[in-house]
């Protein structure tokens, strides 16, 4: 069983190597990509089932027990997020492959897209699975560097600025992460998370706080927590549709996952975390208000993404089992729904030729299927029942209400942010799907990767991949019972910390 744990990391890397070596054959590249991601999804299912039944699964790489070697740990939280991420990655890959076939022809080869895509997937898997702070850094670098390449690939002059913002901010955050690792090592002499959990308690409480804040900032940048979020709405919207979908779905959640993992494992608290509560309020409101101000549908979605990161931060800030499990459930649903919405936005843009809301209209009549594909994830994001978003939001509200008056007040902000989200999405609906149908606009930036105004050249698999993701998010709603039970147990374990440490270190501290 533990042999499987390394595969979600190593298989995509191997796949990336193969797609480079065989870059002359586009068919090989596509097959390798899909097969690898299918395998990762299947492994993730096994890991989820097994870790739920038996507690955290640990692979000691090279046979070296922690803290000498690097341990990969699949517990409920990491396995669940791994599974959802793998499914999203797979669907987006299918979408991207067919978009490329439609736009450039079946025989077009690319030396970069497939390898980068698989490397990104490997980085994401490693980030979820690693039990080592430095390996987490390496995972982030794999993931982020691949994302840099994907976002700047074939950019036009108009969009290169977005890439620069993204890359520069991410680089600063990476260097701060490295700084944090240096500081952690200086103070404790270890980078193994489970080991660290014990050693950090030997420090004076004030210095523990320093380390906690440092890691909060580092992962806060990745997770787009206000006021560290600015880069996101300026960069994601300029990425090609599938890439933006992948980023929006995965990257911020990996950042949040790292925050969730480190804060619960290393910096135990008994009370709700006031600072993070405040930041979560700011994140929810700044994101939602930002969405209302936008005219570009992708920027609007990006701001909503930020806003809903605040929901997850709220769950973490409550800092009890209910809150943490709510945050985990929210993250799982959020990965699918944001990716879906960006894919739909890509389909919309292909049809209308623009991302500007005030220049489209009438798609409900001309593209009713697209209207359904938009409506379901939109309702999910707004948390309208009976969607997955509602279930996850309910979990957060319950946690907030149970934890005391202050967290109840923040739960009120969750409510307000939900309303603003709904308003923003209703406006998209009104602007895009209602109103008079308008003719497709010509491609205003023909240099870039995004081909628009080509509805007739949109192949069915692109819709199918999007519909598949919609189905995943509906499945999360239908199977909310078992899923929330899993996240519930995950939350208890995260707060308890002992199962993780015992599994990694062999003995309880």
Closer by beta carbon to other proteins, 67 or else 315: 67
The token pair at 509 is 């501290």
Query: In the bound complex, what is the minimum distance in angstroms from residue 401's beta carbon to other proteins?
Result: 5
* Cα 166 from Cα 234, distance rounded (Å): 8
Mutual angle of helices 480-496 and 388-402, in 10-degree steps: 40
Query: In the bound complex, what is the minimum distance in angstroms from residue 161's beta carbon to other proteins?
Result: 5
Out of 25, 27, 168, 274, name the contact with other proteins by CB under 8 A: 168
Query: In the bound complex, what is the minimum distance in angstroms from residue 185's beta carbon to other proteins?
Result: 4
Binding status of residue 250 toward other proteins by CB under 8 A: no
Task: Tell me if the bond preceding 191 is cis, omega within 30° of 0.
Answer: no
Query: In the bound complex, what is the minimum distance in angstroms from residue 172's beta carbon to other proteins?
Result: 6
Closer by beta carbon to other proteins, 239 or else 379: 379
Question: Which range touches other proteins (CB under 8 A), out of 10-18, 246-254, 263-271, 453-461?
Answer: 10-18
Please tell me what DSSP assigns to residue 24: T
Out of 34, 278, 415, 455, name the contact with other proteins by CB under 8 A: 415
Binding status of residue 85 toward other proteins by CB under 8 A: no
The token pair at 25 is 């054959």
Closer by beta carbon to other proteins, 50 or else 141: 141
Query: In the bound complex, what is the minimum distance in angstroms from residue 57's beta carbon to other proteins?
Result: 12
Other CB atoms within 10 Å distance of the CB of residue 384: 16
Among the residues of 130-273, which ranges form H helices?
A: 133-152, 160-188, 193-199, 205-223, 231-235, 241-246, 252-266
Binding status of residue 406 toward other proteins by CB under 8 A: no
Task: Tell me if the bond preceding 454 is cis, omega within 30° of 0.
Answer: no
Residues in contact with 3: Cβ distance below 8 Å, sequence separation at least 6, in sequence order: 59
Instruction: Give, rounded to a whole angstrom, the gap between the first and last alpha carbons of the chain.
Output: 25
CA distances 502 to 124, 166, 496, Å, are: 25, 39, 11
Binding status of residue 337 toward other proteins by CB under 8 A: no
DSSP sequence for 316-350? HHH-SHHHHHHHHHHHHHHHHHHHHHHHHHHHHHH
Binding status of residue 209 toward other proteins by CB under 8 A: yes
Closer by beta carbon to other proteins, 272 or else 488: 488
Binding status of residue 74 toward other proteins by CB under 8 A: no
Percent composition of the chain: helix, strand, coil (DSSP 3-state, to 5):
80, 5, 20
Please tell me what DSSP assigns to residue 221: H
User: Which of positions 473-492 make contact with other proteins (CB under 8 A)?
Assistant: 480-481, 483-485, 488
Question: Which range touches other proteins (CB under 8 A), out of 254-262, 307-315, 332-340, 418-426?
Answer: 418-426
User: Which of positions 32-71 make contact with other proteins (CB under 8 A)?
Assistant: 59-64, 67-70
Out of 76, 100, 253, 299, name the contact with other proteins by CB under 8 A: 299
User: Which of positions 129-148 make contact with other proteins (CB under 8 A)?
Assistant: 134-135, 137-139, 141-142, 145-146, 148
* Cα 437 from Cα 443, distance rounded (Å): 18
Query: Applying CB under 8 A, what is the total number of residues that bind other proteins?
Result: 165
The token pair at 2 is 């533990």
Binding status of residue 333 toward other proteins by CB under 8 A: no
Question: Which range touches other proteins (CB under 8 A), out of 36-44, 243-251, 358-366, 463-471?
Answer: 358-366
Binding status of residue 386 toward other proteins by CB under 8 A: yes
User: Which of positions 424-453 make contact with other proteins (CB under 8 A)?
Assistant: 426-427, 430-431, 433-436, 446-447, 449, 451
* Cα 185 from Cα 197, distance rounded (Å): 13
């Amino acid at each position: 069983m533990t042999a499987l744990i390394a595969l979600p990391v190593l298989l995509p890397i191997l796949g990336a190597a193969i797609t480079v070596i065989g870059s002359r054959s586009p068919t090989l590249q596509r097959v390798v990509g899909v097969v690898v991601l299918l395998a990762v999804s299947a492994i993730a299912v096994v890991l989820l089932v097994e870790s739920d039944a038996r507690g955290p699964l640990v692979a000691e790489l090279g046979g070296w027990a922690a803290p000498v070697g690097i341990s990969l740990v699949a517990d409920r939280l990491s396995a669940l997020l791994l599974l959802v991420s793998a499914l999203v990655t797979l669907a987006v890959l299918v979408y991207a492959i067919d978009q490329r076939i439609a736009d450039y022809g079946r025989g077009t080869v690319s030396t970069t897209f497939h390898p980068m895509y698989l490397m990104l997937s490997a980085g994401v898997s490693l980030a979820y699975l690693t039990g080592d702070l430095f390996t987490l850094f390496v995972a982030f670098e794999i993931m982020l560097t691949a994302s840099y390449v994907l976002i700047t690939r074939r950019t036009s002059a108009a969009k290169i600025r977005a890439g620069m913002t993204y890359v520069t901010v991410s680089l600063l955050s990476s260097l701060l992460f490295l700084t944090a690792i240096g500081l952690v090592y200086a103070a404790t002499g270890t980078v193994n998370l489970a080991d660290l959990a014990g050693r950090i308690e030997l420090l004076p409480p004030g210095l523990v706080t320093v380390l906690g804040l440092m890691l909060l900032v580092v992962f806060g940048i990745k997770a787009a927590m206000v006021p560290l979020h600015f880069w996101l709405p300026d960069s994601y919207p300029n990425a090609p549709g599938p890439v933006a979908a992948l980023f929006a779905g995965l990257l911020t959640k990996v950042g949040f996952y790292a925050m969730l993992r480190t804060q619960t494992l290393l910096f135990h608290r008994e009370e709700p975390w006031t600072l993070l509560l405040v930041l979560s309020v700011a994140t929810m409101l700044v994101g939602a208000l930002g969405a209302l101000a936008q005219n570009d549908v992708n920027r609007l979605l990006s701001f909503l993404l930020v806003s809903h990161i605040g929901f997850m931060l709220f769950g973490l800030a409550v800092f009890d089992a209910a809150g943490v499990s709510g945050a985990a459930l929210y993250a799982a649903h959020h990965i699918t729904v944001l990716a879906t919405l960006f894919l739909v936005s890509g389909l919309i843009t292909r049809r209308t030729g623009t991302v500007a809301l005030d220049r489209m209209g009438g798609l409900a009549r001309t593209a009713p299927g697209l209207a359904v594909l938009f409506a379901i994830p939109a309702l999910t994001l707004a948390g309208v029942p009976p969607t997955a978003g509602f279930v996850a939001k309910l979990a957060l509200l319950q946690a907030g209400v149970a934890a005391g008056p202050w967290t109840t007040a923040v739960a009120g902000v969750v409510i307000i942010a939900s309303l603003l989200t709904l308003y923003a999405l209703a406006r998209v609906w009104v602007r895009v799907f209602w109103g008079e149908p308008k003719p497709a606009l010509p491609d205003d930036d023909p240099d870039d990767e995004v081909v628009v105004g080509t509805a007739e050249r949109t192949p069915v698999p692109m819709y199918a991949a999007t519909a598949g993701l919609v189905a995943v998010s509906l499945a999360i709603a239908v199977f909310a019972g078992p899923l929330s039970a899993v996240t519930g147990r995950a939350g208890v374990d995260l707060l308890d910390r002992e199962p993780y440490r015992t599994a990694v270190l062999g003995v309880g501290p």
